[in-house]
Structure 1
């Protein structure tokens, strides 16, 4: 304010040109070396095939090598970015050691075949991520967020333990591959307990509604840790369901429940995002919604599509978090209001609808999904809605000339759908050796009802009907709030320097 001065309490910015400590430098180079090794392993896997395993302990298959490449790439980006981001921090070495340990835990998890090893690594992955959330030791809010996340992750691990114990009790198998081989014998109350616990563990890890609070409370984490979390950690729910696909596909009724759960979270994430006011909060709610879409794809029996979704979402969300600072535009609300708007013209509506329908048709032609009356039809419908949403956002950019907006939409989105279809085909090829990697189900009346409800609610959100209810707005604001203990009420509460 005019006439007032403030005292500088933070001090000078750290000298990022100074030589970095040995540990961050060494771990950064090591994780990039792991990426190179992972790519070589992927190439060898594609060319030679076959089973690479230590019987009863680890099994390296297509999903393993694919996730190795993805995880080490994201981790390499985060390590390199953090060299500057964490410069001058007293927690720099510990942060790098924890991040690298998390990377190794995920790499070991996707290779684990013994159920006990898988369960221990699942827990270790969660505890390491909780430590990253609480990187700032002297920040009470960060420690509260870490404690909250740790409780969720321990609960997820406990549920996974229940599922693994029930599956071992039923099948007598101590490995994931052994359980998959005995899936034909599964059924009854014990199977229901195991399958239900697997789904709940995936929901907690992927921060689906109503387990999203830990994710929205985790914004105390350093931005690189948030990028790693949203690009890799939350996707573990999709990996879990893919690994245990033979278990969750025993009864199509359970898959229908998974579709409903995913759809509810996809809608819930979109609604929660609409009332968020900060960049990282919006990105967190977006992740909640995207993980819902991932679960829907798994529920439709297309686990390859779920893995494709989590990979592409990881690339997008890692970029969004690492560039979050650039997204904060110092413009007045009035100026920002003119950059976007509703689809007020008939031309804009037509362009958006045609782009969505043509995108779905292109996806169906390239992948074969949606050409028969099965769950692949709903998968194509979701592609249509995703394209519609993206096209609508592009058309609403009123700051751009009309001809540019309308002409660029098909030129941008059609190649993007081609790329998505190609990636989906490549991922499906790598997962072809996994049991039940693709298990499309027959469409039922309940599938239709879920689809109609989803489309109706989605259309209502897009047209702004939900904004007319003050009660809904208050409910969304409350549901989208992080835990009160993690809220920073004063900038003086945290001063690392």
Structure 2
């Protein structure tokens, strides 16, 4: 028993050191070679470029942080070493996936990512609910892999090429019907992994995982669809399927924000928040901004990892509160509107998005709403004086916009050798109409109008429930 404990500690330490070394190595290489990160090929199997190194740096950082956090959080946990090894395996599967050029390796790694994540969800095999959540999630991951395999192999056999670079170069020779089917299959694989409606239930059911596993899942795994869609952006443009991403992403973003307000469990709240953020990311892909989607997954990873790892402390300091209705005075409304418009102009100036009449206007509009909402939260705060309420909004959104613009431009440079990652779409009547509906749904959610309609409340509550076998089905056996 003592030998087993020592071996477990040794495995955990080695894994943690290895992850930090990988992160520091990737970060050093990225900084040293930025902005001209050289491309490297190993036959037709592997391809490493700036985008590859960027994702490697991100995933190793999140894995190293979560591994370090787990040293104390999982101390004494029987499956701690198993968790560490699964975390390491998951990290390597993402790293190999991003540099895969041959379709067989790419598809294998996509499936392996799902297998590792399902094992992390059910790492405590003694817990019946965790086993059910693991099996339930694995079904979704296998289904997503089958869809991805069908789409990629269809293109491979049609072009008689089995590397990603060759398939993309020969895409113009593929019949439109074949490209459409392949595009739909790739989209399906992506939205399954990102838990986009109607494939969201696996993520809601996976909250039985230990908090470090949840943090890795929400910071790294669900974001994988953004990487996948960026790699196959040319296929999505050629198949004319971006409008599907725009609609599905927009609907998911609004619905998940609704369901988040109904949750009483902090991890379920965070799960609904992740689904909403993935909806925004998918929506950005549908607007033709795959680079913005990558920036979104980068920032979401940092944000959500922090929220999960600090969730226990937040619960300890929180008290039950009744939802406060939104009441805004005329002067406050003017201030909110002013800073929202100012934030939109600053965003457009720094990033170049929203300066022309195309799909980038939607992103600028969302920024204006976000800045306006942040401003409202400040001006309604009674503990702040008039000077603070006037000073804080511009300070926060200016620093936030500058930081975002720098990251956006940096990511765009690293993705510059990838085709079709920044192609704004022309606006259509359909997109404008859907955009208006999206905004209407957003304001209905924020104003709490849904509380006046019990049938809507019940419907939202029902669709945000986890799979029944992952909730208190094995209590007597576990005890």
Q: Same fold (TM over 0.5)?
A: yes
| Aligned with residue 317 of structure 1, among 304, 310, 314 | 304
Runs of 5+ consecutive residues of structure 2 not aligned to the other structure: 1-5
- In 1, Cα distance between the equivalents of 2:89 and 2:345? 44
Instruction: Name the residue aligned to 2:233.
Output: 245
- In 2, Cα distance between the equivalents of 1:418 and 1:468? 40
Greater Cα shift, 238-247 or 436-445: 436-445
Q: How far has the Cα of 1:387 moved from its partner?
A: 2.4
1:277 has 2:264 as partner: yes
- In 2, Cα distance between the equivalents of 1:243 and 1:168? 15
1:343 has 2:322 as partner: no
- In 1, Cα distance between the equivalents of 2:415 and 2:78? 43
Provide closer, same or farther for how the CA distance between residues 227 and 137 of structure 1 changes in structure 2, counting only shifts above 3 A: same
Instruction: Name the residue aligned to 1:3.
Output: none
- In 1, Cα distance between the equivalents of 2:338 and 2:437? 22
1:299 has 2:283 as partner: no
Instruction: Name the residue aligned to 1:12.
Output: none
Q: How far has the Cα of 1:281 moved from its partner?
A: 0.7
- In 2, Cα distance between the equivalents of 1:20 and 1:182? 50
Q: How far has the Cα of 1:355 moved from its partner?
A: 2.0
1:160 has 2:160 as partner: no
Please, what TM-score do these two structures have when normalized by structure 1?
Answer: 0.91
Would the aligned equivalents of 2:128 and 2:474 in 1 still touch at CA under 8 Å? no
1:231 has 2:229 as partner: no
1:261 has 2:248 as partner: yes
Provide closer, same or farther for how the CA distance between residues 326 and 398 of structure 1 changes in structure 2, counting only shifts above 3 A: farther
* Structure 1 counterpart SS, 2:238: coil
Would the aligned equivalents of 1:187 and 1:250 in 2 still touch at CA under 8 Å? no
Instruction: Name the residue aligned to 2:61.
Output: 73
Instruction: Name the residue aligned to 1:464.
Output: 448
| Aligned with residue 415 of structure 1, among 399, 410, 421 | 399
Instruction: Name the residue aligned to 2:19.
Output: 31
- In 1, Cα distance between the equivalents of 2:95 and 2:33? 16
| Aligned with residue 468 of structure 2, among 474, 477, 484 | 484
Runs of 5+ consecutive residues of structure 1 not aligned to the other structure: 1-17
Q: How far has the Cα of 1:55 moved from its partner?
A: 2.4
Pairs within 5 Å for 1:6-25: 21-25=9-13
1:198 has 2:182 as partner: no
Provide closer, same or farther for how the CA distance between residues 490 and 345 of structure 1 changes in structure 2, counting only shifts above 3 A: farther
Instruction: Name the residue aligned to 1:437.
Output: 421
Instruction: Name the residue aligned to 1:62.
Output: 50
Q: Number of residue pairs matched?
A: 475
Instruction: Name the residue aligned to 1:175.
Output: 163
Instruction: Name the residue aligned to 1:124.
Output: 112
Would the aligned equivalents of 2:325 and 2:447 in 1 still touch at CA under 8 Å? no
- In 1, Cα distance between the equivalents of 2:378 and 2:154? 49
- In 1, Cα distance between the equivalents of 2:110 and 2:14? 26
Greater Cα shift, 369-378 or 280-289: 369-378
* Structure 2 counterpart SS, 1:145: helix
- In 2, Cα distance between the equivalents of 1:470 and 1:123? 41
| Aligned with residue 361 of structure 1, among 333, 339, 345 | 345
